[in-house]
Amino acid sequence: MEIHSVASYITSILTVLYVFVVFSFIRGWHKLSYYQPKKPALKTKVSILVAARNEAENIRRTLDDLCAQSYDKALTEIIFIDDHSTDDTAAIIESYASKGVKLIRLNEDRALNSYKKKAIQTAIGQSTGDLIITTDADCRMGKDWLKTIIGFYEEKDYKMISSPVAYFEEKSFFERAQALEFLYLIGLGASTIGNKKPSTCNGANLAYEKAAFYEVGGFKGIDDLASGDDELLLHKMAARYDNNIGFLKNEDAVVYTHAKATLGEFIQQRKRWASKSTRYKNKAIIVLGVAIWLFNVSILLNIAIGLFIGFYFKLALAQLLIKILVEFIFLYQVTGFAKRRALLVLLPLLNLMHILYIVYIGVAGNSGKYNWKGRMVK
């Protein structure tokens, strides 16, 4: 009986902590007002940077979307950096030169662990814009994407702006499950910005002042890590500029990309994302991550022991129901913004898979190597 009491006590603490964390996300999301553009005349010179490696299959659509932007062409610079592609990526980019697209070929002859940071830093050094915006070579965006970001920047004067990213054109249950999980991550990052405690963002839709990039030392100190050109830079900006970071809640600012088609690709991507957590300097973010991980571990342990002792299975069931409920409340708002509320029907089943994924990635992402863009990195 005493063992049961201890188990109930630990389970209760972890569950209450998780509920508190998710409700802080809900509060942070509500603090973010929907942005309504007000300034008719915009004047910021912007450089859009896209690092590309073996993206011949997708890159034309991204190029077309960027060239079709409604923002003043005289104030827009589009730079693609070819990262040692072995397909026709560079040739396709060059074919858009008449539309003002610039190509930089990364020609590093020594092995690096972070080619993407090298690509972005090289492009920033050659850029002419005051505001840097990064996206990916397989992304899609509407014609008012750039104008919306610039309007938000000029009105709010943030040093860095994180904007929404969402999956689209899902072809399977697995991809739809990723779409919901990814919206959770985007909502999480947005809510922490809303709470003035920025924790995460996505480089597929990120803007920051070039002067601020150099002021914080660029990628210095994090340039040996394959990932982190977005999130770790966010942490440096937040520390230097007293959390003067914004999240752009507007549907015209959304960038769309595709979920991973296979479990192997998904795992490699998430291991890459998780790997940067070893370099967090903000201890509060580390504590938050560990608490969420321990909560999920406790559910798995209670399920495993519950196969033999019914009491623990009841504990796990209670945790699952509470987890699903609070996440539903949070995701109801986030999926509503993304116009993807139909995905919520997947939440109960996704929860079971998500627990396994969180526990595994929490370990695997912080140890060993992973494959990214055909390279083995760590």
301 and 237 inside one domain: no
- Identify whether 360 is part of a domain: yes
Residue 52 backbone phi and psi in degrees, to 5: -135, 135
What's the number of domains the chain is made of? Answer: 2
Q: Please, which pLDDT band fits residue 320 given cuts at 50, 70 and 90? A: very high
**Under a CB-based contact definition with an 8 Å cutoff, are residues 78 and 65 in contact?**
no
101 and 245 inside one domain: yes
Q: Please, which pLDDT band fits residue 113 given cuts at 50, 70 and 90? A: low
**Under a CB-based contact definition with an 8 Å cutoff, are residues 197 and 189 in contact?**
no
- Identify whether 97 is part of a domain: yes
Q: Which two tokens stand for residue 338?
A: 């993304």
Name 247's bridge partners. Answer: 162
Query: pLDDT digits over 231-288, tens only?
Result: 999 999 999 999 999 999 999 999 999 999 998 888 888 887 777 666 676 777 788 8
Residue 376 has pLDDT above 60, yes or no: no
- Identify whether 334 is part of a domain: yes
pLDDT of residue 377: 58
**Under a CB-based contact definition with an 8 Å cutoff, are residues 72 and 41 in contact?**
no
16 and 58 inside one domain: no
- Identify whether 374 is part of a domain: no
Residue 123 has pLDDT above 70, yes or no: yes
- Identify whether 303 is part of a domain: yes
The domain boundary, picked from 239, 260, 276, lies at: 276
**Under a CB-based contact definition with an 8 Å cutoff, are residues 92 and 56 in contact?**
yes
Q: Which two tokens stand for residue 155?
A: 């009105």
For 201, the domain range is 35-276
- Identify whether 255 is part of a domain: yes
**Under a CB-based contact definition with an 8 Å cutoff, are residues 340 and 334 in contact?**
no
Q: Which residues of 123-149 are buried (b: 16+ CB within 10 A; e: fewer)?
A: bbeebebebbbbbbbbbbbbebbbbbb
Specify the CATH number for the domain of residue 240: 3.90.550.10
242 and 350 inside one domain: no
pTM of the entire structure?
0.91
3-state helix, strand, coil in the chain (%, to 5): 55, 15, 30
212 and 255 inside one domain: yes
More confident residue, 114 or 63: 63
**Under a CB-based contact definition with an 8 Å cutoff, are residues 81 and 50 in contact?**
yes
User: What residues contact residue 274 under an 8 Å CB cut-off, 6+ apart?
Assistant: 361, 362, 364, 365, 366
Residue 367 has pLDDT above 70, yes or no: no
88 and 45 inside one domain: yes
